[in-house]
Chain A
Amino acid sequence: METIQSDVVIIGAGGAGLRAAIALAETDPGLRIALLSKVYPMRSHTCAAEGGAAGVIKGDDSMDLHFGDTVGGGDWLCDQDAVEYFIDQAPKELTQLEHWGCPWSREKDGSVGVRPFGGMKIKRTWFAADKTGFHLLHTLFQTSLKYESIRRFDEVFTTDLIVADGRVQGCCAIEMRSGEMIQFQAPAVIICSGGAGRIFPFTTNGAIKTGDGMALAYRAGVPLKDMEFVQYHPTGLPSTGILLTEGCRGEGGVLRNKDGYRYLQDYGMGPETPLGEPVLKTMELGPRDRLSQAFWQEQKKGNTIPTKWGDCVYLDLRHLGEAKINERLPFVRDLAKSYSGVDMVTDMVPIRPVVHYMMGGIHTDINAATPLPGLFAAGECACVSINGANRLGSNSLTELLVFGRRAGESALAYVRGDSKPTVDTAEAGRQAAAAQARIQALFDRADGGETISGIRDEMQHTMEEGAGIYREEEPLKETTAKVASLRARQTGIALKDKSKVFNTELTAALELGSMLDVAEAVALSALNRKESRGSHQRLDYVDRDDKTYLKHSMAHYQGEEAPRIDYLDVVITKSQPGVRDYSGAKS
């Protein structure tokens, strides 16, 4: 088996992983960096983010306002020390990206422009038309090509972390081109592998977002934090789940029900604002959780429009006019035209809420460090936690920059620090051999009549049934039991493809295993949280309960058994829990 020795291994080469790699390469050019990804870096799902990245830059904005929007948007489940650090670093990171060539949209005088987003008191979203994540990813990837010390391993699928002596010491991964296992020995590992939206049937997430990195850390004993908080984006195309950016509403788009009525005014986000004059933190510029929940209520009232892909409401942008749509929203105009056959210049676009983002993830502290020495995490796979119970739109791109860099710096301090962590190469070799044997066992498994696509479909269906926009005890219990049984049943999958070269049946089986572990943590965390907060809404516990649940859920892996859930206090520095007010009347 091939062995690669380096100082830091990064798993995942999207926005966070690339930012971590660049931070390492810039700070210490002598460092040996291994950057692993199961795809090529530019395929990472960061590329699909559309709307923008938040950072305080304009004179009418302030750090306090960004803090207030983020913590209130997160329904006070954010760790406020992490939020303060994040907000302080955000403008610097976005400016750094500007220096690296990101084609930010500009004001007439050449300064960077900002647009409004949901849940914001002041407009502060930097944007590159409506392909911000794409430009951010390609800018980082192309910039990373400058650094010879970043050694890339593209299309290399990580299967296991190597953990010995209570520390992480590397990972094992399959080179997809050859099918051979490689052991990566390193005293520090940073996981930047993205979210797990694919545990749901209807999602904006690409096929690759299967929670692999979350599962790696979880199985190695690191808790998954706040997994019950799953963000539905209010405006997805009904046939495919393709995202229409929140920028649509930031630029003045409105939501209408089957009668053409702007229903958000009935759900505490009114009064109705004049067409073409969006008011911040009001109506369509309310937060994502509230908007998605309002859709569900409208559906119950029979005010949605039935389509062959399910019930919808309308996103109406017609009053913006063709010129503005082409300047600010050209990509989503094309997406709606191509995939739904609707031109938003002349027609209303049918949309419905769609699973978009996991607020929860690998538990880290403010330094992006997990409780397992040597293991760090950043980006959507991690929970640091600045997003609380509901992420503010346009904080996630900034998050992967701020905490990607932070993870790089922390890993560097760790490997260069006084403890001088080393790798027990004999033990690493033993664990790598065991990992390889487990892969071989997958190939040798007897056919128990199960299929990857069959179990995946059942998982996605039960997650939507029990752990969707609104939840309650009985369906959640059923979902939890169902996912547990699917975890057991996956051993009945036999791989029909026995070849080594680019075997995507093998990787799909491994991804399914990761998704099932993550899904179980989501469902059980949701079942145990008997309150409603942010994106976690219980029909049987409709109020927020700060006395009992102003705490992070921590899901601990227990092998074949269900995870153990316990709780960790939220860090509060300056904002006590209050009322989330999105009614324009008081602003």
Chain B
Amino acid sequence: MSERQITFEVLRYNPETDDKPWVQTYSVPCQEDWVVLDAINYIKDHLDTSLSYRWSCHMAVCGSCGMMVNGEPTLSCKAFLRDYKGSKIRVEPLSHFPIERDLVVVLDDFMGKLQSVKPYIIPKKEKPVEEGEYKQTPRQLKNFKQYTMCINCMLCYAACPQYGLNDDFIGPAALALTHRYNLDSRDGGRSQRQEVVAQHEGVWECSFVGACSEVCPKDVDPAGAIQQMKIASTVDWYLEHLMPWRAK
């Protein structure tokens, strides 16, 4: 198998010893079928055991290994070296998040936001398990299925210019999941979620650049979800103010 020597420029930061992040370079003998994560694992195993990063599944489903690769938010386990020309690749932690150490970022903000949007079924009416499943036609499933595919990899937050400016913005992944539950035929919790989403930091902060949907490795299309939610919010407003007898 042919080898290709690639220089990796990796952002390093250890809060115990470093005032600010710095770049370390490693020269890695890469196999042609490797992904960026394979090269980082090579560094960890053979060149520098102190490099910290997250990874697990190596099949683009656990969402751990998001990084900036040559400035783009990327799942490093699905970033094939064959798609990177040249002899240098730059690897940095995801933008817009505080760095915990090296390529590891602090996720507290997202975890809090995810919880705040009530990402679970709030049933219209409680139904005991003994009464069996809710019926849901393939068409009803298709209505929200795309928005269930989010792996929480955070690439969309790293790509979102609005989140970069204002981290009060709930952000693409959490809003897409809000939409996912709102659209589920089993759910009756939209008005509860609306209280969170209709706030300033909700959908109206989005300037519809669409960067989130472009970087999404699972084709969730959070930008589309957010636009649909804006329309739904507007309809709510009109119903409430112009036709109060129909509200809610």
Contacts and interface: CB of A to CB of B under 8 A. Distances in A.
Nearest to B34: A239
A46 B88 CA distance: 35
A43 B50 contact: no
Contact of B141 (A106, A331, A504): A106
B78 A338 contact: yes
Contacts of B80: 338
Contacts, number: 156
Given A112-B133, A208-B56, A502 B49 contact: no
Nearest to B1: A308
A508 B138 CA distance: 44
B145 interface: yes
B50 A45 contact: no
Interface residues of A, number: 61
A502 B129 contact: no
B62 A47 contact: yes
A177 B100 contact: yes
A243 B120 CA distance: 29
B38 to A, nearest CB: 9
B137 A43 contact: no
Given A42-B152, A43-B64, A99-B127, A502 B111 contact: no
Interface string A271-314: 00000000000000000000000000000000000001000000
Given A106-B138, A110-B137, A134-B151, A206 B58 contact: yes
A242 B104 CA distance: 25
A35 to B, nearest CB: 13
Contact of B59 (A135, A242, A496, A497): A242
Interface residues of B, number: 64
A404 to B, nearest CB: 16
Interface string B82-110: 00000000000000000011101001000
A48 interface: yes
Contacts of B114: 142, 145
Interface string A451-482: 11100000000000000000000000000000
A532 B228 CA distance: 59
A240 B111 CA distance: 31
Contact of B120 (A108, A143, A508): A143
Contact of B14 (A451, A495, A499): A499
Interface in B36-71: 44-46, 49-64
B190 interface: no
Interface stretch (A90-98, A352-360, A435-443, A542-550): A90-98
A243 B58 CA distance: 11
A503 interface: yes
Nearest to B53: A504
B119 A145 contact: yes
Contact of B148 (A135, A177, A208): A135
Contacts of B64: 39-40, 43
B182 to A, nearest CB: 12
B101 A502 contact: yes
B183 to A, nearest CB: 11
Contact of B119 (A131, A142, A308): A142
Nearest to A101: B121
Given A106-B141, A242-B58, A504-B53, A101 B136 contact: no
B73 to A, nearest CB: 17
Nearest to B126: A99
A206 B57 CA distance: 4
Interface string B184-222: 101100000000000000000000000000000000000
B84 to A, nearest CB: 15
B156 interface: no
Contacts of A335: 59-60
A110 B33 CA distance: 43
A581 interface: no
Contact of A110 (B51, B63, B104, B136): B136
B123 A99 contact: yes
B177 interface: yes
A134 B137 contact: no
A104 B140 CA distance: 12
B50 A101 contact: no
B52 A503 contact: yes
Contacts of B56: 39, 43, 45, 206-208
Contacts of B55: 207
A339 B55 CA distance: 17
A142 B44 CA distance: 33
Given A40-B107, A106-B138, A497 B50 contact: yes
A501 interface: yes
Given A101-B187, A103-B145, A111-B135, A501 B58 contact: no
B181 A101 contact: yes
Contacts of A499: 14, 16-17, 50, 101
A28 to B, nearest CB: 19
Nearest to B82: A341
B76 to A, nearest CB: 13
A322 interface: no
B29 interface: no
B134 interface: yes
Interface in A311-349: 331, 335, 338-339
B80 to A, nearest CB: 8
Contacts of A101: 120-121, 181, 184, 186-187
Nearest to A147: B120
A323 B184 CA distance: 25
B57 A47 contact: yes
A500 B100 CA distance: 12
B132 interface: yes
Nearest to A145: B115
Nearest to A94: B133
13 contacts: A40-B107, A43-B62, A99-B133, A105-B138, A106-B138, A111-B135, A134-B61, A146-B120, A177-B100, A308-B1, A453-B45, A496-B49, A500-B16
Interface of A: 39-40, 42-45, 47-48, 92, 95-96, 98-101, 103-112, 131, 134-135, 138, 142-143, 145-146, 154, 177, 206-208, 239-240, 242-243, 308, 331, 335, 338-339, 451-453, 495-497, 499-505, 508
By Cβ-Cβ distance, the 5 closest A-B pairs, closest first, are A110-B135, A453-B45, A206-B56, A497-B50, A502-B101
Given A99-B123, A109-B137, A452-B49, 10 more contacts: A43-B62, A99-B127, A100-B121, A101-B186, A142-B120, A154-B111, A206-B58, A207-B56, A501-B14, A504-B44
